[in-house]
Amino acid sequence: MSNHNAMTSHLGENDILQAVIDETDLSQRLKQHLSECSHCRLQKERFAQELTRLGQLARRYAPGPQRRVTLVEKRVRSPIFNWKYAVSAAAVAAAIIVVWATVLIQSQQPGRVGNLTQNMVEAERLMTEIDGLVENALPPVYLEIVGETELNPDEEFLEFLIPAADESPRISAITRKGPARC
């Protein structure tokens, strides 16, 4: 693994790097060369100084942490039972029970059922009356005057029977006493 250059007989870059990191990992021969060769010792010292200066620059220009980092010890909890969820679930269940009980109690009150039945009977009567008016809109008194039971009155006949408020009634000329003037 030694990158020892046989031509110049100095330590290679890998050997110098290994000497800076941990000199005890070098072989005995390389340790002896490092102690005897001033050139290799100078290379090792320069490289160590460069690494030291690089570390100082990194500490100087690296931003500090925004907040202090601490590790929080997590407690092991059972995922099935958690007090927060249990209390929330109990509150929701209680609200559902209260709403359900209120609706159930109100629907079983006897007055409400009687009122509902009475309203349905009145609605049925009203619908029967409306159906009768759809078939024949004239009241029974007018039907007796006309004398027909199956009467299909046109608009002119209805205006004759029930004049508009802004018009004078057509029958006023008939009710006047005396001869009609032309």
Band of residue 6 on the pLDDT scale cut at 50, 70, 90: very low
Average pLDDT, the chain: 76
All structural domains of the chain with their residue ranges: 13-61
Band of residue 150 on the pLDDT scale cut at 50, 70, 90: low
Q: What is the pLDDT of residue 4?
A: 46
SS3 10: coil
- Characterize 94-106 residue by residue with b for buried, 16 or more Cβ atoms within 10 angstroms of its Cβ, and e for exposed: eeeeeeeeeeeee
Q: What is the pLDDT of residue 80?
A: 62
Encoding tokens for residue 146?
């006309």
Place of tokens 């024949």: 136
Share of the chain above pLDDT 90, in %: 8
Q: What is the pLDDT of residue 158?
A: 74
Q: What is the DSSP string of 54-83?
A: HHHHHHHHSPPPSS---PPPPPP--SS--H
